[in-house]
């Protein structure tokens, strides 16, 4: 598939689709993985197992760096980063963008506040976040946020192409864990 077609398919899905559902439900074990990414423009290695030793993890998948909704969502997570840290949570954004793009996105959109990592096809499949158009994978991810407790269990899932509630809902779930 060519890139303009993928972008058009993603835009059409974002505009016309009902909220998508994530297959991984609350209470399920989060698939453990490691990924390369970026934090504040620098290469970064992420390990879910290591991050969970420090506290809950907000793992949010977004379709494509530097698209309007993904940039606005990253800004919102950046603005709330101190609140997530106060609740003991690590925030990591995931997409199938290349490392060079993630390095730039981590600085410009994420404002150096949290890491972004490359979602491999295996991670996309394990978390059931493949964005499809007409039943065919676009190579992009659905906009899906998971809150994972320190025990490795998913405590909250929000899957919706509209970015606006992801930060609010994940922050509420993290605060509930702390409380």
- Contact call for residues 94 and 119 (beta carbons, < 8 A): yes
Which of 70, 116, 119, 140 is the catalytic position?
70
The reply to whether 110 belongs to the active site is: no
- Rounded to 5°, the CA angle 134-139-145 comes to 95
For residue 175, how many other CB atoms are within 10 A of its CB? Answer: 15
- The 3 state secondary structure assigned to 41-106 is CEEEEEEHHHHHHHCCEEEEECCCCCCHHHHHHHHHHHHCHHHHHHCCCEEEEEECCCHHHHHHHH
Q: From CA 15, how far away is CA 17, in angstroms rounded? A: 6
User: Which tokens belong to 173?
Assistant: 């779930």
- Catalytic positions are 70
């Amino acid at each position: 598939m060519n890139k303009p077609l993928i972008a058009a398919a993603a835009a059409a899905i974002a505009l016309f689709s009902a909220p998508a559902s994530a297959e991984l439900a609350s209470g399920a074990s989060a698939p453990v993985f490691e990924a390369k990414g970026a934090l504040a423009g620098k290469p970064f290695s992420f390990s879910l197992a290591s991050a969970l030793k420090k506290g809950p993890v907000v793992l949010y998948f977004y379709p494509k760096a530097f698209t309007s909704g993904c940039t606005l969502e990253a800004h919102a997570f950046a603005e709330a980063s101190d609140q997530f840290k106060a609740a003991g949570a690590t925030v990591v954004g995931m997409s199938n963008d290349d490392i060079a793009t993630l390095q730039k996105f981590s600085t410009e959109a994420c404002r150096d506040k949290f890491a972004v990592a490359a979602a491999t096809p295996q991670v996309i499949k394990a978390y059931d976040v493949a964005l499809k158009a007409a039943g065919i994978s676009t190579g992009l991810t659905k906009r899906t946020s998971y809150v994972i407790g320190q025990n490795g269990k998913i405590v909250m899932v929000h899957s919706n192409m509209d970015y606006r509630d992801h930060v609010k809902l994940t922050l509420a779930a993290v605060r509930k864990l702390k409380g």
